[in-house]
């Protein structure tokens, strides 16, 4: 691979100029390739050796591939419920598309690449810390089997960015199925630009859901329903592993159903539906337990944006939209119920299952028990007396957990499966390792201070196999002590 064909295409530039601005990344002083995702290189059919040699220039934006047409995308969005009519890539440039081994196109975007038309008062740069955070979190989410954008590289810039203090700068190369957001549709809906809305919808269908063209129904209603289904499934998977996105604005919600924009995100430690990690989310709008409601709210905004092209008659359009949105609760509940039942080892359905599930979550909440540890210990407790002791050690009220555990064991017997099979299924559902916030912050500090990537590489290696049995005392597996718990994260813009 040479730089001339590093980028396959940039089909978004076939849309009108109002959708984006041509914008080259702003050069940086001394780029250095700090981390290259070799697994992703293989999947994207990228020449690893070439990128190790040229990646600092290409993945910082100092050098632009001959086949690239760099652009920054415009969009709007509801941020914490408030509509902002013009947002856009204020610190990002879309270089173009890469074709993976399976023929699928993926966007490659540089984050932290300098000012654009949409930067407003921002400098268009990113501190190195948030770049490392997104790399870690997006890889963790991917290997947990959850749709997500991914990170190809971390590049240091050799420059500092001004925040509360001077911080080393970084640039992330992000890979996504596309960067089309609900906010992209909101931008043109707000301006009543029906022609552009239709062009955007047609492009989205061709890019992501060409199969919809074969259906006889209203194609734009089908686009809405497809996105409803994808997002319902996505958020139920987040909840299943204790992930909190932290900033579920409509401009951070993709049409493709991928997790995007890892800002103030984190995995929950102690189980509590009210858990929030974003320091600005004072009212808990984007708390762990509120994520299903918020994604439905976001999807309603998407439906409103599509209204004029779903049907010219507002009354007919509204009826079609309501019919589509009414499908969300069942889709979400079916997906969540399927996932949570697997966490308890239930493959069959019996009366009383829901009570067992809810009772355990209530006990976790009452005891301030670590979510990941509890389910992992539950998974190995059936045939492992030591594992059972570790499970019980997580709870204050031993009689309460013993009573619940007896009910659960009686229910497990109804599966009529060998215990080995039940344990195996539980262990491939309940991860042993997540990227805990205090661990991530410690690693970020190591890398930022002296560019020591040793623990970063070790953590990424373990996150690739999240269901493995690891040494129980490994520092990456341990929940934080009270003085280690980091309860606020920042987006780093």
The answer to whether the CB of 79 falls within 8 A of the CB of 249 is: yes
Is-contact 182 302, C-beta < 8 A?
A: yes
Catalytic residues: 251
Among 186, 178, 128, smallest CA distance to 153 is for 128
Question: Residue 35: phi, psi to the nearest 5?
Answer: -150, 130
Helix 454-463 / helix 437-450 crossing angle, nearest 10 deg? 150
The DSSP string of 337-395 is HHHHHHHTT--S--TTHHHHHHHHHHHHHHHT-BHHHHHHHHHHSSS-HHHHHHHHTT-
Residue showing tokens 């109002």: 18
**E strands along 198-280, which residues?**
243-244, 266-267
List pLDDT tens digits, range 356-366.
Answer: 999 999 999 99
pLDDT reported for residue 493: 47
Distance CA 477, CA 448 (A): 23
SS3 108: strand
The total of other beta-carbon atoms located within 10 Å of residue 195's CB is 10
Sign for the pseudo-dihedral over CA of 152, 183, 301, 86 = positive
DSSP-assigned states of every residue in 447-479: HHHH---HHHHHHHHHHTSTTS---TT-GGGSP
pLDDT at position 1, please?
A: 46
Contact 264, 491 (CB under 8 A): yes
Low-confidence ranges of the chain (pLDDT < 70): 1-5, 490-493
Closest of 275, 245, 270, 273 to residue 260, by C-alpha: 245
- CB neighbour class for 304 (10 Å; exposed up to 12, middle 13-18, buried from 19): middle
Q: pLDDT per residue over 217-252, tens digit each?
A: 899 999 999 999 999 999 999 999 999 999 999 999
- The CA-CA-CA angle for residues 366, 368, 275, to 5°, reads 105
Residue-wise DSSP of 158-173: EEEEESSSEEEEEEEE
Strands 77-79, 32-36: pairing is: unpaired
CB atoms within 10 A of CB 57: 17
Q: Which structure tokens are listed for 285?
A: 């709008």
Q: Which two tokens stand for residue 237?
A: 């998977």
**Nearest Cα to Cα of residue 248 among 222, 284, 213, 216:** 284
Please report the pLDDT score of residue 139 as a whole number.
98
What are 23's two structure tokens?
């914008």
Straight-line distance from the first to the last Cα atom of the chain, in angstroms, rounded to the nearest whole number: 33
CB proximity list for 441: less than 8 A, separation 6 or greater:
486
Q: Is 46 helix (H, G, I), strand (E, B) or coil?
A: coil
Q: Name which of 296, 61, 18, 270 is nearest 169 in CA terms.
A: 61
Residues 260, 273: contact at Cβ < 8 Å? no
Question: What single-letter DSSP state applies at residue 442?
Answer: H
Q: Which two tokens stand for residue 230?
A: 């994808």
């Amino acid at each position: 691979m040479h730089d001339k064909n590093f980028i396959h295409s940039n089909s978004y530039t076939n849309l009108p100029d109002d959708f984006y601005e041509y914008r080259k990344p702003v050069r940086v002083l001394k780029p250095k390739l700090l981390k290259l995702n070799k697994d992703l290189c293989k999947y994207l059919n990228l020449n690893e050796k070439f990128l190790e040699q040229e990646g600092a220039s290409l993945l910082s934006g100092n050098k632009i591939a001959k086949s690239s047409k760099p652009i920054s995308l415009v969009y709007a969005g509801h941020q914490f419920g408030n509509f902002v009519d013009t947002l856009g890539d204020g610190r990002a440039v879309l270089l173009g598309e890469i074709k993976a081994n399976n023929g699928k196109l993926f966007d490659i975007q540089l984050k932290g690449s300098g000012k654009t038309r949409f930067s407003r008062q921002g400098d268009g740069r990113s501190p190195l810390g948030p770049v490392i955070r997104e790399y870690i979190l997006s890889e963790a989410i991917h290997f947990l089997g959850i749709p997500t954008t991914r990170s190809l590289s971390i590049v240091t810039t050799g420059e500092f960015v001004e925040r509360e203090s001077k911080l080393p700068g970084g640039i992330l190369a992000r890979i996504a199925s596309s960067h089309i957001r609900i906010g992209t549709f909101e931008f043109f809906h707000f301006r009543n630009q029906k022609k552009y809305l239709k062009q955007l919808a047609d492009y989205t269908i061709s890019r992501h859901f060409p199969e919809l063209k074969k259906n006889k129904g209203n194609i734009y209603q089908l686009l809405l329903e497809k996105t409803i289904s994808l997002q319902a499934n996505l958020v139920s998977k987040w909840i299943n592993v204790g992930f909190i996105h932290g900033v579920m604005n409509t401009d951070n919600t993709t049409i493709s159903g991928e997790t995007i924009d890892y800002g103030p995100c984190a995995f929950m430690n102690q189980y509590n539906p009210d858990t929030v990690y974003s320091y600005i989310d004072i009212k808990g709008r984007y708390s762990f337990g509120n994520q299903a409601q918020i994604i439905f709210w976001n999807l309603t905004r998407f439906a409103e944006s599509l209204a004029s092209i779903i049907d010219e008659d507002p009354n007919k359009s509204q009826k079609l939209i309501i019919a589509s949105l009414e499908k969300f609760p069942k889709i979400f509940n079916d997906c969540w119920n399927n996932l949570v039942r697997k966490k308890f080892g239930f493959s069959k359905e019996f009366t009383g299952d829901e009570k067992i599930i809810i009772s355990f979550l209530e006990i976790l909440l009452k005891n301030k028990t670590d979510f990941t540890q509890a389910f992992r210990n539950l998974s190995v407790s059936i045939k492992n007396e030591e594992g059972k002791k570790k499970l019980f050690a997580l709870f204050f009220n031993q009689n309460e957990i013993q009573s619940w555990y007896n009910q659960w064991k009686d229910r497990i017997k109804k599966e009529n499966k060998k215990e080995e099979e039940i344990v195996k299924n539980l262990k491939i559902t309940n991860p042993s390792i997540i990227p805990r916030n205090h661990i991530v912050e410690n690693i970020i500090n190591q890398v930022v201070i002296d560019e020591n990537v040793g623990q970063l590489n070790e953590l990424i290696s373990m996150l690739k196999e999240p269901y493995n049995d690891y040494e129980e005392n490994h520092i990456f597996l341990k929940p934080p002590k009270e003085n280690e718990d980091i309860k606020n994260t920042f987006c780093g813009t």
